[in-house]
């Protein structure tokens, strides 16, 4: 729900703020708030330099590359379309996880779920690029590249970041992710103090900082440590439904039959994958119990 709503607030904030400064300030403020949480809760920081290098690299992928392209791209396409393009992340995550994580191999059910969900995404935006021109195509391509970078970062977190506290991991990634964004903004967009700081821009920045960054990322990394990365990314397919609904209600964005049918495909793809995996886990648990009972007898 939180991340589904952030696309609208990005779009609203971009009415008055340039993209790179906007996103850089978002993660500067969010990392500062999380730093205070770490300090007052006395959460221990990593002592191994490799952990800091790991957070720097994944922070660059997830925040500098992914969010930089998202904020830039939303200047030229709707918030709903941006969320839908970002929903290609589970497809990339499935392919990357198959290579890096032995317990998360590609299965026919996973393929079917992701294909069905991605088909829904494709159906929803199938007629929008034609209507919005070359800049929309470049923006859409950039958001897909960002989704690929974020998917790779998520797999790396699952592979090497299980031991890191979710708050520390979130703060560390944002801490390393925001400087390139803010520097780019200062060089190309001017002094942040001289921007058009309207109440709408300030409200969007506050919402994205506190709920969209601090709360949402701590919850997400906590969840990622407990479920398969493919399933975590599949849940992101639900975000576009929230994004397009809010885009229609608040921003007057187009809501067509493609969105309705595509949304049904997205939900079906997620449901099929999660339900099938739950059934498989229950069957394995029953088999294990039966085997143990036989050995005991």
Which carries the bigger pLDDT value, residue 65 or residue 76?
65
What Rg, from alpha-carbon coordinates, does the chain have? 20
Q: Is the pLDDT of residue 294 over 60?
A: no
Give the pLDDT confidence of 256-292 residue by residue, as tens digits: 787 778 778 877 877 776 666 555 555 555 665 555 5
State pLDDT tens for residues 183-211: 999 999 999 989 999 999 999 999 999 99
User: What pTM value is reported for the model?
Assistant: 0.78
pLDDT for 291 equals 57
- The predicted-structure confidence for 134-146, as pLDDT tens digits, reads as follows 788 888 889 989 9
Token pair for 108? 């026919």
DSSP conformational letter for 211 = I
State the angle between helix axes of 79-86 and 134-160 in degrees (0 to 180), rounded to the nearest 10: 40
Instruction: Please determine, for residue 62, whether its predicted confidence score (pLDDT) is greater than 90.
Output: yes
User: By percentage, how much of the chain surpasses pLDDT 90?
Assistant: 42
Higher pLDDT, 123 or 15: 15
- Domain locations in the chain as residue ranges: 2-296
């Amino acid at each position: 729900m939180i991340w589904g709503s952030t696309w609208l607030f990005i779009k609203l904030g971009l009415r008055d703020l340039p993209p790179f400064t906007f996103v850089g300030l978002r993660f500067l403020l969010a990392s500062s708030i999380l730093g205070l949480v770490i300090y007052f809760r006395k959460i221990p920081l990593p002592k191994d330099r490799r952990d800091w290098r790991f957070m720097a690299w994944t922070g660059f992928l997830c925040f500098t590359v992914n969010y930089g392209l998202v904020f830039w791209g939303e200047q030229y396409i709707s918030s709903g379309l941006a969320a839908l393009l970002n929903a290609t992340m589970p497809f990339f995550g499935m392919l990357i996880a198959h290579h890096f994580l032995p317990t998360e191999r590609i299965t026919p059910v996973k393929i079917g779920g992701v294909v069905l969900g991605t088909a829904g995404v494709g159906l929803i935006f199938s007629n929008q690029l034609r209507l919005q021109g070359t800049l929309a195509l470049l923006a859409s391509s950039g958001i897909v590249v960002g989704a690929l970078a974020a998917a790779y970062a998520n797999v790396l977190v699952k592979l090497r970041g299980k031991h890191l506290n979710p708050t520390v991991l979130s703060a560390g990634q944002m801490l390393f992710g925001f400087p390139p964004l803010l520097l780019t903004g200062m060089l190309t967009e001017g002094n942040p103090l001289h921007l058009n700081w309207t109440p709408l821009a300030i409200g969007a920045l506050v919402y994205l900082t506190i709920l969209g960054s601090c709360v949402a990322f701590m919850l997400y990394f906590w969840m990622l440590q407990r479920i398969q990365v493919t399933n975590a990314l599949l849940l992101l397919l639900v975000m576009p439904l929230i994004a397009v609904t809010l885009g229609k209600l608040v921003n007057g964005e187009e809501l067509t039959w493609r969105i309705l049918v595509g949304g049904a495909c997205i939900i079906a793809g997620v449901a099929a994958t999660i339900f099938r995996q739950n059934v498989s886990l229950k069957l394995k648990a029953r088999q294990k119990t039966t085997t143990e009972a036989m050995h005991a007898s």
